[in-house]
Chain A
Amino acid sequence: MRKLAYLALALLIALLAAACGSTSKSTSGSSSTSTTATSCSNKDSLNLKTIDQLTVGTDNPAFPPWFGGTPHKPWQVSDPNSGQGYESAVAYAVAKQLGFDKAEVKWIHVPFSNSYAPGPKPFDFDINQISFTPARAKVVDFSDSYYDVNQSVVVNKGTPIASVSSVAGLKPYELGAQLGTTSYQFIKDTIKPSKQPSVFPSNAAAVQALKNKQIDGLVVDLPTAFYVTAVQVPNSNVLGQFPAAPGGEHFGMVFQKGNSLVTCVNKALATLRGNGTLKRLQQQWLAKATGAPILK
């Protein structure tokens, strides 16, 4: 009987080893990839989840200045369907380039962590202030930049941190960032504070902690910083923005790995950049986001 038991155990171990070792690191090929360069202007030949519909994902609540307009259920704070706000406007501009009119764009709620979970994505692309990083690009495909990002720091007026004028001056303070943004990494790599920074699961928690003076400064991208100071935290202001790192940080739309649609979207972005649309939209929606002093 003992021998039978050992045999069973050996069988089990062998199977486990086989499972762990066998499969090679193949990229997922779940959605069909078109072979050669598609004609991007023909929307019927595009790789879409639903025919004649562009499914775009973003998180809820949708915050200004990335989105605007009065929200309708289930959206909160702003409405992606409104076309107002920078990301909403860019999405519709790209859609137009691809041959979709406004009614053919469908917005769905995709929580941040769902946008990169394995398996087939529920969207054609996701637009949600997601920064490109090489590590992330191993798991999903990013479009080219639709906005080059500068990080900035929001502080309460009249607090000691409000008189800081350099990056080094921020070191002794308790800083915070929102989960999923590159701001936390930015704090650790560039500011290198002496106190452990905080990371909040939601915008609401981060903002409340700043109001409560449980953190001294909140590091967010510059456009978001202006929304925070204008609407969310009274008596706060944008202390300053940080100069862009070499190569810069940029937001890109997120696609399923291997989805050929990204090529067409990049073409659309190139067109929009070339004809000044992107710049015009930035001036329209992100104008305030240039007025903060640069901290060095």
Chain B
Amino acid sequence: MASEGDRRSDPEVERRSRLLGGLHFEGEGARGVAIALVSTAVFVAILIAAVTQSPGWPEVKRTFFDWGDISNAFPDIARAFVLNVKIFLVCEVFILVFALLIAVLRSLRGPVFFPLRALAIVYCDVARGVPTILVILLLGLGAPALQLTGVPRSRVFWAGVALIFVYSGYVAEVYRAGIESVHPSQEAAARSLGLSRFQALRRVILPQAIRRVIPPLLNDFIGLQKDTALVSVLGVVEAVNQTQIDSAATFTFGAYLAAAALFVAITIPLARLTDWLIARDRQKRQAGGAFA
């Protein structure tokens, strides 16, 4: 049908569907979507019926889903959430930089660089293998206990260091995947022009590598946002700790829903921002820009 073909290439439809995270509504696709919606509705209906008719539902509803509890808990938790935001924003910057360093060290070739490469490998293995909560406890409670002069006592500081340590291991591997996905002929071309290894890395390989791994980088970032809650084991009152305080005071769990809403609220714009970054990069390359 002529109209379907037009709509597929219509830039306005493209833009709207991109904003919806890539959903398309067109022609034959619409039938499929309708079927999916109906079957989902039926499934959810059955689920809701099963849950709300169960004998324990009134008590669960009262303790988990009471709007009064949730809205009472929300202001304190939102205030405490600011600390989570600060932690993950600061940590993420350090992680992105430090992990890149580790990944570059790991990619160095030649026997003379073996010690650095080995160090990077060991680092990634340890950082990813050890439970994050253990690192936070070790650094947050253990480091200050050594009572060395000049060693900061701040628990937020050590929790941040722990998170940077652990997450850099994961993110370094993501970078490494990106670097290895760039075809070696790119490096050959760059080196042939006389660029040094470092210049080739900086100008040719890394820009391509990083663009390719933006979605998994975002994944790790989102994981980091939630792991900022681990600082609560050191006693710091951030969103999840505040949630637990509220829950223990009222013997209800509505506070957890308030906290969950906040975490999800942060995640969604970040995911859309990433989609936009990727789309913009693709658009720039396809539409042709002004002189570089």
A contact set with B: CB distance below 8 Å: 1-2, 4-5, 7-9, 11-12, 15-16, 18-20, 22-28, 30, 112-113, 116-119, 133, 135-136, 138-140, 176, 179-180, 182, 184-185, 196-201, 205-206, 208-209, 211-215
Contacts A180-B248, A184-B245, A212-B144 given; indicate if A198 touches B235 (C-beta within 8 A). yes
16 contacts between A and B (CB under 8 A): A4-B38, A7-B38, A15-B48, A25-B62, A27-B59, A117-B63, A136-B250, A140-B251, A180-B248, A184-B245, A185-B249, A198-B155, A209-B234, A212-B145, A212-B153, A214-B155
| Cα distance, A200 to B244, chains bound together (Å) | 10
- CB <8 Å contact, B45 and A11: yes
Other than the given A8-B38, A201-B244, 20 more pairs (CB < 8 A) read A4-B37, A5-B38, A8-B37, A8-B41, A12-B41, A15-B49, A20-B65, A118-B56, A118-B60, A135-B250, A136-B249, A136-B251, A138-B251, A176-B235, A199-B232, A199-B244, A201-B232, A208-B141, A209-B234, A212-B141
With A16-B48, A139-B251, A198-B236 in contact, do A9 and B145 touch (Cβ < 8 Å)? no
Residues of chain A within 8 A of B244, CB atoms compared: 113, 179, 199, 201
- What separation, in Å, do the CA atoms of A209 and B58 have in the docked complex? 41
Query: Contact between A23 and B57 (Cβ–Cβ < 8 Å)?
Result: yes
Give the residues in chain B near A211, CB-CB below 8 Å.
145
Q: How many residues of B contact A (CB 8 A)?
A: 48
Q: Which of A24, A117, A199, A215 contacts B58 (CB 8 A)?
A: A24
Chain B residues positioned under 8 Å from A196 (CB to CB): 237
Query: Which A residues are CB-close (under 8 A) to B261?
Result: none
Chain B facing A: main interface SS: helix
Q: Which residues of A contact B247 (CB under 8 A)?
A: 113
B196 within 8 A of A: no
Q: Does B225 contact A (CB under 8 A)?
A: no
In whole angstroms, how far apart are the Cα atoms of A8 and B252 in the complex? Answer: 34
Contact A15 B45 (CB under 8 A): yes
Cβ of B64 under 8 Å from chain A: yes
Cβ < 8 Å to A, chain B residues 139-171: 141, 144-145, 153-155
Report if B277 contacts A (CB, 8 A).
no
Q: Which residue of A25, A113, A197, A213 is within 8 Å of B248 (Cβ)? A: A113
Residue of B nearest to A202 (CB): B233
Q: Which residue of A lies closest to B141 (CB)?
A: A208
Binds A, one of B28-36, B116-124, B180-188, B201-209: B28-36
In the assembled complex, the Cα of A4 lies from the Cα of B41 at a distance in Å of 11
| Beta-carbon contact of A199 and B241 below 8 Å | yes
Known contacts A19-B48, A118-B64; A5 and B34 CB within 8 A of each other: yes
| B197 at the A interface (CB under 8 A) | no
Residue from A7, A20, A197, A199 having most chain B Cβ neighbours under 10 A: A199
The 8 A CB mask of B65-91 against A (1 = contact, 0 = none) is: 100000000000000000000000000
Asked if A1 and B30 make an inter-chain contact with CB atoms under 8 angstroms apart, the answer reads yes
Q: Find the A residue at minimum CB distance from B33.
A: A5
Query: In the assembled complex, which residues on chain B have CB atoms less than 8 Å from the CB atom of A28?
Result: 56, 58-59
Indicate if the CB atoms of A23 and B251 lie closer than 8 Å: no
